[in-house]
Each structure stands twice: as C-alpha cells, then as structure tokens.
Copies of this chain bind each other. A is one copy, B any other.
Amino acid sequence: MITTLGVLAAVLTTVSWLPQVRRTLSTRSAGDFSWSYLWVLSAGVGCWAAYGVAREDLSIILANSLTLALLLAIVATKAHTERRARGSAGS
C-alpha cells in the first residue's frame, strides 16, 4: 500500500508539470514565476532525487529527476522571454 501511495504521489507531482510546461511553451509567458522559486525548487528537487538514491527509493528518484527536467524547461522559457524583452527594450 505504501509503495502504491509513493508511486501515485510521484506520478501526480511529476505529471502535474506536463500541462504547466505545455502552457508555458505555448504562451511563451513565465513572468508569474519567481526566479527564486524556480532556482530553490530546482535545488530542492535535485536533493530529493539524491535522497531517493540514498534510500534506494525508485519512486522518489524517478519523480524528481523528471520533475527537474520539466522545471528546467520553464527556467529556459523564462530566461529566453526575458532576454528577448530586454533586447527589444534596448533597441
């Protein structure tokens, strides 16, 4: 039962990022995300993945490695759109 709960939690918290990444990539808008949130969350998710490795818990490892990849897609979109905004503001 516990492993099922862990797998369900892992799937939900990972899958939740798919509609968010789809929205961010389609709207090209990530201004509502705070940089501190994105960086600190990425560091935390990375630590959770390491925690999962240390505890040999596959659901924690899988969830957090995938989450990190999706999170970085949002970081890249936010960085890209802000760089373009600065570029067009400067020209």
A12 in contact with B54 (CB, 8 Å)? no
**Could you name 10 residue pairs across A and B whose Cβ atoms are closer than 8 Å?**
A2-B55, A8-B47, A9-B45, A12-B44, A13-B45, A20-B34, A22-B34, A24-B32, A29-B31, A31-B32
Contact of A40 among B2, B19, B50, B51 (CB under 8 A): B19
Across the interface, name the chain B residue whose C-beta is closest to A6.
B51
Q: Does more than half of chain A's interface fall in helix, strand or loop, or is it mixed? A: helix
Measured as residues with beta carbon below 8 angstroms from the partner, the interface class of chain A is 35 or more
Cβ of A23 within 8 Å of any chain B Cβ, yes or no, is yes
> A9-B44, A29-B32, A32-B30 are contacts. A37–B16 as well, Cβ < 8 Å?
yes
